[in-house]
Structure 1
Amino acid sequence: MDQDRQLIESDMDYIMERIMTTEEAAEAWGLSPVRIKHLCSDEKVVARKRGKTWLVYKNQPNPKQKESE
């Protein structure tokens, strides 16, 4: 059972290293959390909604740079 738990925790660590909240994305990208939520719902960034929370994929270009082009 201990081995199973370690495997699950390892998988969770892998996932958590690759996602961020809208607040974290806002800070990283220099945009407001509200703007990040709009980008998520408009599918302008790679994200998934779980309940009321958007989970944003970390390793993608800053959408702020795309908006200024």
Structure 2
Amino acid sequence: MSALQLPLGAIDKYDGQRRAFLWLGEDTVSGAQCLVAWDAVTRPLEQGGGGLVSVILQSRTTVCY
């Protein structure tokens, strides 16, 4: 839900930093250190996920007021 759609490369970098902070509190992380798939972490709590907001969905959603 933003005025501009973020490029996928920017979203990938941002999600990489969020993932690294969540699992290690560091700047980078490898796949072996991740305990749960990122798709599962960004699912809503009602669907058994971690409840984090998916940046891709948030960037692509438009809201008209």
Q: TM-score, normalised by structure 1?
A: 0.27
Structure number having the greater helix percentage? 1
Structure number having the greater strand percentage? 1
Query: Whose Rg is larger?
Result: 1
Choose between structure 1 and 2 for higher RCO, CA contacts under 8 A separated by at least 6 residues.
2
